[in-house]
Structure 1
Amino acid sequence: MLKFENSWPYDQVMNDIYVNECPFCQQENVLTSFSENKLQLAKEGIKQLLVMPCCHNKLTIVQADDDYFWSNEKLRNQ
């Protein structure tokens, strides 16, 4: 079971995937290079790598739903 602290929200606008804030450098409104095909694979439970364009840190996405990316690492400070 994935923990909520390992999740990060995203938004999809048309074909573009945004994160409101980078979990690593806190840059706001980051347009990712994540494609719809990769998003669909993540929703099917196939691991995907997302390189944040703002700071070049890597996020391994193990699963996605309509609102969150789920990672194998802690992304939130709770």
Structure 2
Amino acid sequence: MIPFRNSWPYDITGNDVIVQECPFCKSANVILPLKPADVESLYGGARKIMLVFPCCHNRLRIIDADSDYLLANRQIR
């Protein structure tokens, strides 16, 4: 079972991956430095990436994803 406290919702708009709110600094509508193909490569835990939020430069290791949520290796909620 995937721990909900380690997940964060995202949206894909055009060629941008967007989160509605940064889990660290609470900035709104943050465009992540990822492409939709990068997110798809995370599906099923096949790949892991270090994500740096451009608004506050906090880091988060993304270990899995699905079509709605990014899954981190630590609690973000």
Structure 1-normalised TM-score? 0.90
CA displacement at 1:22 relative to structure 2: 0.3
Q: CA deviation digits over 1:27-77, x for unaligned, max 9?
A: 01001111223212211411111110000011111000000000111011x
Distance between the aligned counterparts of 2:12 and 2:36, measured in 1? 9
Q: CA deviation digits over 1:1-26, x for unaligned, max 9?
A: 43000000000001100000000110
> Tell me, which stretches of 5 or more residues in structure 1 are unaligned?
none
Question: What is the one-letter code of the residue matched to 1:39?
Answer: V
> Tell me, which stretches of 5 or more residues in structure 2 are unaligned?
none
- The reply to whether residue 41 of structure 1 matches residue 41 of structure 2 is yes
| Runs of at least 4 residues off by over 6 Å | none
Root mean square deviation, CA, Å:
1.1
In structure 2, what is the equivalent of residue 67 of structure 1?
68
Distance between the aligned counterparts of 1:41 and 1:48, measured in 2? 10
Give SS of 2:54's match.
coil
Distance between the aligned counterparts of 2:2 and 2:49, measured in 1? 16
Distance between the aligned counterparts of 2:38 and 2:9, measured in 1? 16
In structure 1, what is the equivalent of residue 4 of structure 2?
4
Structure 2-normalised TM-score? 0.91
> Contact 1:38–1:48 at 8 Å: present in 2 too?
no
Aligned length, in residue pairs: 76
